[in-house]
A = this chain, B = another copy of it.
């Protein structure tokens, strides 16, 4: 645990804007002497709370979304292959992240980025526990121990608590950034997060 102040980052592993939004957030944090604190959540309960829905439940928004995600991919120079199935449940991925991250925060981030890459670039369905374990293996994580952990009640309730905390903190979508209690929704708002850090608020 760092003594540094944080940028809290809430995201769902099935969220394209989460995928784009998280890529450079730690570089921004470092620039301002902070550390990124990553919190994968699952959007289901968030949507239930906000009345939201995934883009692709509506054809017009789906068309805009797919166009925009490919445009973001070209803009950022990172791959995007719109996955099928999409969206997916990410409970196993998020639980696995916390188990890894609690032991080694850096390895947790490497694992999170690889989960995103496997889903949005490599065509792997990370809703499946076996796929999550394979991604973990690729990151050098102890897969036998992780497989056990995924059945552990403490690991399950850890994710539930993170989702509850997210809702309490006002998280309404993915990604959602919090700087000193100030929340910013969307990968479109990283410019504002940066300006907030620079100015110390306004």
Which chain A residues have a beta carbon within 8 Å of chain B's beta carbons?
49-53, 57-58, 60-61, 63-64, 67-68, 71, 74-75, 167, 170, 172, 183, 185-186, 188-189, 191-192, 195, 202
How far is B67's CA from A183's CA once the two chains are assembled, in angstroms? 9
How far is B138's CA from A106's CA once the two chains are assembled, in angstroms? 61
Residues in chain B near residue A170, CB distance under 8 A: 60, 63-64
B51 touches A58 (CB 8 A): yes
A60 touches B49 (CB 8 A): yes
| 5 residue pairs from A and B, CB less than 8 Å apart | A52-B58, A60-B167, A64-B172, A64-B183, A188-B189
How far is B60's CA from A49's CA once the two chains are assembled, in angstroms? 7
Residue of B nearest to A57 (CB): B51
Residue of B nearest to A199 (CB): B75
- Copies of this protein in the assembly total 2
Residues in chain B near residue A74, CB distance under 8 A: 202
Residues in chain B near residue A60, CB distance under 8 A: 49-50, 167, 170, 172
A169 to chain B, nearest CB (A): 11
Residues in chain B near residue A189, CB distance under 8 A: 188
Tell me which of A50, A58, A67, A192 has the highest count of chain B C-beta atoms within 10 A of its own C-beta: A50
